[in-house]
Amino acid sequence: MIKIFIPVYNEEEFIEQNLRYMIPKFSKLLTNDYKIYVVNDGSTDRTGDILDSINIDNVIHLKCNGPSVRENLAKMFVKQGKKGDLIFFMDADLSTDMSSLPQLITEMKKGFDIVIGSRYQKGAKLNRTPYRFIVSKIFNTFLYLYFGSLVRDHECGFKLFKYEVIRDLVKDMGWNLQRRAFWDSEMLIRSQQKGYRIKEVPVIWVEGPKSYISIKKEKSMVRYILTLKFRLVKERKINRKKQKSLSINSN
């Protein structure tokens, strides 16, 4: 079963139109059984009313109220998923062309634990303003230099996980409101450190109105990122001690 999660917040202008576009697309692209969860994180416009009024089979409206869309989304992954499921999430604005989804699933079947859409892999097609492109490239380069992450595109909202893998990562990450939009990136950084296999698949991507992270508005996130490196080192030391202790006790 593929569990599809679509996070939304104040999307009244296009949510119904986009959902009605997505449903036949999913049915055409997927051979697996699937279920769609629209995770509405405290929208203050008519998004919730629209979702309640839509009568579409296989679509479930999940209502959350909290200061962090991504944190609540992670909780829904664990709560709604089960062993053997594939967990997929994508942005509601359809920035990423859905045609790449079958390739994500194909790569997953080859043994990868995580397969993600990438705007910077060979074969990708990208429509983005130069300024936002440069900011994104600087961000990804920083993650390579600071954390040693080999992922080329951390931010693309088009990702597929094995349920057991994402459950493990969510447990490690815990809840932290300062993380904000860094949620996706931290998950991929932790995945590499834990030895999970990641595959990037080229996508067709068109910039949407909400596809930009303002560092100026995300000051708490910047502090969180800079200190995360040291927390990860501390966590690894603690885990090594636990493993060593378990090894001694088992002998």
Written as six digits, the tokens of 20 are: 């009605």
* DSSP secondary structure string for all residues of 195-228: T--EEEEE-EEE--TT----GGG-HHHHHHHHHH
Q: Quickly state the pLDDT bin for 217 (edges 50, 70, 90).
A: low
- pTM across the whole model: 0.89
* DSSP secondary structure string for all residues of 103-141: HHHHHHHTT-SEEEEESSSTT-EEE--HHHHHHHHHHHH
More confident residue, 247 or 196: 196
Written as six digits, the tokens of 181 are: 């939009």
CB 8 within 8 A of CB 43: yes
Region 2-218: CATH code: 3.90.550.10
Rounded to whole angstroms, the Cα distance separating 192 from 196 reads 6
Q: What is the pLDDT of residues 21-62, one digit of tens each?
A: 999 999 999 988 899 999 988 788 999 899 999 888 889 998
Sheet of 158-162, strands arranged across? 59-64, 34-41, 2-8, 86-90, 158-162, 114-118, 198-202
pLDDT at residue 185, rounded to an integer? 95
Closest by Cα among 70, 97, 108 to 196: 108
Query: What residue segments make up the domains of the chain, in order of their start?
Result: 2-218
DSSP state, residue 179: -
Largest Cα–Cα separation, the chain? 62
More confident residue, 240 or 167: 167
